[in-house]
Structure 1
Amino acid sequence: MWRFLDGVSQPKKKKLSADDKRKYFNEYEKNKRSRSFLLDWKKERPWLENTENGMKCSYCNEYESKRQSLFVQGCKSYKIETIKLHEQSKSHLKCQACYHAKCVPASMSEAGKLVQKLNDENFKKMAILFRTAHALAIHNRPFTDFIWMCELDSVKNVNVGETYRNEAAAKTFINYIAKNEITKVSSRISTSKFLCIIGDGSTDASVKEQEMWFVRYCREGIISTDFIGVDSYDDKGLLLPSRVGGTRWIGHTALALQNITVSYKYIISHLGQLTEPSERVSTDSRAKAYAFLKLLQTKSIVHFIYFLIDVLSVFKTLSLGVQNNQCLISQQHSTIESMLEVLRGYKTRFWNRRLANFNQSFRTLFEKAGLYCDEIEMEWIMLKKAICENTAKFESRTQVNEIYGHQYRNILDVMDLTLTMSPSSAEAERGFSLMKVPKTKIRSTLSQGSLNDLLITKLHAPKIGDFNPSEAVYLWNSEGNRTKRVNFKDMSASKRNQLCLLKHQMLLFHKRLRAL
């Protein structure tokens, strides 16, 4: 500025003494703003982590070779500008590209597409074999059927080659199909903030104790339950509850009582005939018939039968509701209240738990999931008001998440938690019913790994018409130290065919010579 003024010389810079500098820095340190890590920074940056040593980048920590970056060692400069500078750096962009390339399936990568073009014939051959193995698992057929199914394809002039046409190859192919499907399940589970593990135990055809595990999760109001594996129980020190009775005993008991009331006259008449001396029955059977007849004709027993029918009708409704895989704890509240109403003489009773108590109980879990606990109650009030003022008709929880997902994310995540909690293990019971289909008394020696692969393929893989074996074939080809020799036996087979043709021509030649 002094250049544009006449008669003004350049001002001299003020030099501070050592005491003045020390005093200035002491005041700066005293009045310096204390910065901390903000959770908002992680919303669009999944790689950002806050540790005891400061902020770190998960991508750079895994893929950076020199490991000299500040976000690898730990950055304590809690500023958004520092994060943006690291986000735009060349080393971070390179590590980010490596991470995304690793997440892409082998079939979708550029290298995978190139290999498919180069080995298109071999790929089609392996795809047919994988489809055959997939069909075996879907229809619960033994592995030995894979051999004759490949022979049938050869008769139909379908090129399946001579290699990998055995029982061991069928097990391997189903194993890689199951690996590919369980990878998809893992990616779906990773998008959910809350999980609920469902497990139950039972015995299979080989009288071995098995534990079946499912995982239930909810994402934006959509409930999903996926099978994750079955494991044999070999006294691992787990405390398992004792069995109370058979499965569905409420429904069976209610049905038996209903049959007694409908056929009461005929049952009494039949038991009365068995007690007559003219009937040719054993003494033991006649005594039992007399005891049952006397029991059924007692007034208190008849009253008790009708009392049980009234009580079990409510229990049956609760039992059927709990067996539903979309069952919610909140939906069973009214059913339980009805059951208590019958048992306690039609007295009403209601539960009224405040959201604040729920928030306090799960506060640690909410904070780990990245929720703002102080905003949950306020968002709940605002969400109810917004839904009441909205003229649109909400038919599902998904519509609420689509409209209000960005405004009231915290309370909607709390709803996802309540939907994630499973009130029963009915899903595991249905899983045991499916397990007994492939593992029968004839196939009782089926290994644990093969049983897992068959169940995963049957429960997660698509139907035969919708199944695409590309990803499973690439996964099979990419794993293992040895290269896959798809045409190993095909070459020897072609040589055998040439020899057979040569022998046939030699025989024809000798016959012609003899004829001459």
Structure 2
Amino acid sequence: MSKRTIDSFFRPAASVPVPESTVSPSDDDAESEVGVAKKARNLHFREDWLKEFSWLRYYKQLNYMNCEYCSSYPRTAGNSKFADSTGTSQFKHKTLIKHNLSLKHRVCRDMFINLKATPLPVAFRRQMTVNQSADEAEMMLIFNTAYFVAKEELPFTKYKSQLDLQRKNGLKLNKTYNNDTACAQFVGVIADTLKGKTYTKIEDAPYLSIMIDGDTDVSTKECEIIYARILNEGKPMNILIGHIEVKHAHAQGVYDATKEAFQHLGTETGWLEKTVAMGADGAAVNLGHIVPFHCMPHRLELAMLSVQRKIPMVDHVYNLLNMVWKTYHFSSKSMRELRALGEELGVRLNVPGSVSGTRWLPHVNRALQTLLKPGGKDKHLQNPGQFTAVYYHMEHLTASSTNADIAGRSRKVKKMMEDGSFVGFCHFLADLFEAISKFSFLLQRNDVILPQAVNGIENLLATIEAMSVRCKPGGRLAELLADLQDQRRQQEGEGETHLLYKFQGITIKGEAAGLGKEGLSMASTPKLQQAVRATIDCTLLHLKQRFSSLLYEESTSASAKAVKSFKIFSHDSWPAEQRELTDYGAEELDFLLDHFSSVLTRNYMDKSYHALWGMMVTKLPFCSDYKNILHLVHIMLVLPVSSAICERGFSAQKRIKSDVRGSLHVDTVEDLIRISMEGPSLQEFDAKEAVQTWFSQGKMSRRPNYKGWPSEPPSGTQEDLL
């Protein structure tokens, strides 16, 4: 008995397969041609062939057969008779076998099956889309968690616990990316999407200014932070360009770091052609060729620092505030005793503020206001307040402290707080700092523009000059004088001959009697009047020197002259007379066109403005007809009046890169600063774009719900196998 192979059980016994290696794919037609040449035989079609060859079709009336696959794709089948519409009448089993094994037939078969089997691939694609949508929805939840960690400036290690909390609350989240490394990657993708929006804004902006500042982080890396100021929908806007580690801290190193930041953003040299000004803190390495802006809040700080150095009474106030802060900042015992004393007096105490080191003027004003804060609901100056509690505690430390340094400091503070002229000067300085702090807050706004800064400094100078004539109405000094005068009248009405003057229950000496008289005079309070007059004169002098470019004083600097020339766009400086208004600003306009000729020419704004400017200032509005002049207005609006945004950026850096996170890379710190300061709120954040970007960035397809083999077999498995 002959042996049968296993494949013989799966084909009819009558059919004898021909090995493929011995059959040529194109021999089926040749067999037909040979058959024609031979002597004709009476061949008949057998019905069992239809079961053996599923592709075979037989037309009984016309007596021919063909291939369903090949007839559907005649071009692919070539010149085969089985692909013709007339088919073939050569009814031979061997011919059918050869055609079944031919290469062209198999290609047509695959094409036919793929066409007929479309519901299955469509179903697979549909299911894949459903799975991908579910994965994206789940990853959006995970990205939201990563964004929360970055927005709240939390360590990456808090990410896992946030996911665990959400799972505990019933949310189903996969554990594939349940680690801090994945959180850092997600934060990087989110930051890249924000950076892409920044790139678009920079590319669309016709003009921009850059603001830079340097600082050394906790890992002793010297970094430069770069911001750009552009116009967004008609309003100034500051956006982060980059946070770069500088190789060298000289001017060329800062310039290279700035270029590197723009290169990381995606723009090479286009930003440089649009730059019209630069804002910085006034360091020598930050002075440029175009319009360098020394940060105006820094100017204000330096002006008041000069006043502090030149006016002894101002320096005494700073020293008093610093000694009070030092007493309670470095001694928890002293702070505890002060709070206990405040409870006995019924005073709600605030922590004394610091005025030393890097402090904006509002911090100094806040520290002084805290010391002079009245107590009680009615805020009456006779009620015990913070001043009272500090005085009594200093008196206690003077008598009880065994430390000579603390006792001496307390004795000095107590003596200064008893001096009537010093107390009056503190109230005057509180009024002065309040006015200056208001201007400082204006300069620290991100949307402040040049006309606002000009109006602000002019109003500040007028307010300070008015203080030399009379006290500020409703100010601290006016309230003190009114209270002391009430005390004098009350004691005189009671027949007292030895008058006592008190502030918050503390008896003040020196020129207190002169403060209680009607109207201040040089004769009654010479020390106070001299200090006030000297402080006002010195403050006005240094403010005018620091802000000379805004006050339209003569200067040989082209940059300062360019800033002054922008006054023609401030309606407050326009002349009231029609004849003067007709020719107003022609000279300044010529200078601006010449100074900014390079950037204006790049924007095709090299036309004559003389007649245009005359029409603009006399017949408003002509915005729709005369748009060219608005390019200069655009330049004015993007001038970096303040670089306080850089200080805010470094404040965020110090919060993010703390002592326990000192190993963070500079690029990671930049991403975290960008999200913390410029990212939308958690409610407004949409993670869809970031998730889609993350799915498309992988070298292989992302599988968030992938489950690998367990690292250890379940307990009892090995025993069961044994």
- TM > 0.5 fold call: yes
Q: Which amino acid aligns with 1:251?
A: P
Matched letter for residue 370 of structure 1: Y
Kept in 2: contact 1:137–1:458 (CA 8 A): yes
- Equivalent residues of 1:219, 1:416 under 8 A apart: no
Contact 2:210–2:228 (8 Å) recurs in 1: yes
Which piece of structure 1 moves more, 127-136 or 483-492?
483-492
Aligned partner of 2:440 among 319, 326, 338: 319
8 Å contact kept, 2:449–2:637: yes
Letter in 2 for 1:486: R
Q: Pick from 352, 362, 365: which aligns with 2:596? A: 362
Letter in 1 for 2:686: N
Is the contact made by 2:401 and 2:407 (CA closer than 8 Å) also made in structure 1? no
Q: Which amino acid aligns with 1:427?
A: I
CA distance in 2 between partners of 1:502 and 1:271 (Å): 72
**Structure 1 pair 257/124, CA: closer, same or farther in 2 (3 Å)?**
closer
Partner of 1:147: 160
| Secondary structure in structure 1 of the residue aligned to 2:707 | helix
Equivalent of 2:655, from 418, 437, 441?
A: 437
> Counterpart of 2:450 in structure 1: which amino acid?
I
Change (3 A) 1:303 1:163: closer
Cα deviations across residues 404-437 of structure 1 (Å, max 9, x unaligned)?
6542322222212111112111112222333333
Whether 1:484 and 2:701 are equivalent positions in the alignment is yes
Aligned with 1:126 (options 133, 139, 150): 139
Counterpart of 1:90? none
Contact 2:394-2:413 within 8 A present in 1 as well: no
* Structure 2 residue 682 is matched with structure 1 residue 464: yes
Q: Could you tell me which residue of structure 2 aligns to residue 65 of structure 1? A: none
Tell me the residue number matched to 1:229. 242
- The whole-number CA distance in structure 1 between the counterparts of 2:627 and 2:197 is 26
Shift of 1:114: 13
CA distance in 1 between partners of 2:684 and 2:456 (Å): 40
Q: 1:173 deviation in Å? A: 1.3
1:409 equivalent among 618, 622, 627: 627
State the partner residue of 2:362: 251
Q: Secondary structure at the match of 2:250?
A: coil
Taking structure 1 as reference, are residues 115 and 294 closer, same or farther at Cα in structure 2, changes over 3 Å only?
same
Q: TM-score, normalised by structure 2?
A: 0.44
Structure 1 window deviating more from structure 2 (169-178 vs 122-131): it is: 122-131
Cα–Cα, structure 1 residues 474 and 288, in superposed 2: closer, same or farther, change >3 Å? closer
Give 2:437's aligned amino acid. K
Cα deviation code 1:443-466 (max 9, x no counterpart):
222222222222222333333333
Q: Give the Cα–Cα distance (whole angstroms) in 2 for the partners of residues 329 and 176 of structure 1.
A: 37
Counterpart in the other structure of 2:207 = 194
Listed as ranges, the matches of 1:65-464 within 5 Å are: 119-151=132-164, 158=171, 160-206=173-219, 208-238=221-251, 241=283, 246-258=357-369, 266=388, 270=392, 273=395, 282-289=403-410, 291=412, 305=426, 308-309=429-430, 311-341=432-462, 342=465, 351=552, 353=565, 354=585, 355-356=588-589, 357-375=591-609, 377-387=610-620, 406-464=624-682
| Residue identity opposite 2:689 in structure 1 | E
Distance 1:336 1:165, change over 3 A: same
- One-letter code of the match for 2:709? S
Cα distance, 1:291–1:500 mapped onto 2, change above 3 Å:
closer
After the TM superposition, which of the residue ranges 151-160 and 187-196 deviates more from structure 2? 151-160
Q: Identify if the C-alpha distance between structure 1 residues 131 and 304 changes in structure 2 by more than 3 Å, giving closer, same or farther.
A: closer
Alpha-carbon contact 2:652-2:676 (below 8 Å) kept: no
Query: In 2, distance between residues paired with 1:191 and 1:362?
Result: 19
Residue 225 of structure 1: how far off its partner (Å): 1.5
Asked if the contact 1:220/1:416 (under 8 Å) is kept, the reply is no
- DSSP 3-state at the match of 1:459: helix
Judging changes above 3 Å, is the alpha-carbon distance between structure 1 residues 147 and 373 closer, same or farther for their aligned structure 2 residues? same
Q: CA deviation at 1:158?
A: 5.0
Distance in 2, Cα, partners of 1:265 & 1:130: 51
Using the alignment, how far apart are the partners of 2:239 and 2:359 within structure 1? 23
Per-residue displacement from partner, 1:182-204 (whole Å, max 9, x unpaired)?
A: 10121122221111112223344
Q: Which amino acid aligns with 2:443?
A: V
Is the Cα–Cα contact under 8 Å of residues 275 and 287 in structure 1 kept in the other structure?
no
Q: Secondary structure at the match of 1:201?
A: strand
Farther-moved stretch of structure 1 (172-181 vs 317-326): 317-326
Q: Partner amino acid for 1:187?
A: T
Bigger mean CA deviation after superposition, 130-139 or 298-307:
298-307
- The higher-RCO structure (CA 8 Å, 6+ apart) is 1
Asked if the contact 1:274/1:286 (under 8 Å) is kept, the reply is no
Distance 1:502 1:135 in 2: 42
1:58 corresponding residue in structure 2: none
Equivalent-residue separation in structure 2 for 1:290 and 1:136 (angstroms)? 49
The 1:136/1:253 distance shift into structure 2, 3 A limit, reads closer
Cα distance in 2 between the residues matched to 1:326 and 1:219: 11
Assess, with a 3 A threshold, how the Cα gap between structure 1 residues 197 and 500 changes in structure 2: closer, same or farther.
same
The AA in structure 2 aligned to 1:359 is L
Distance 1:484 1:405, change over 3 A: farther
Residues 194 and 217 in structure 1, CA contact (< 8 A), matched pair in contact too: yes
Distance 1:260 1:139 in 2: 33
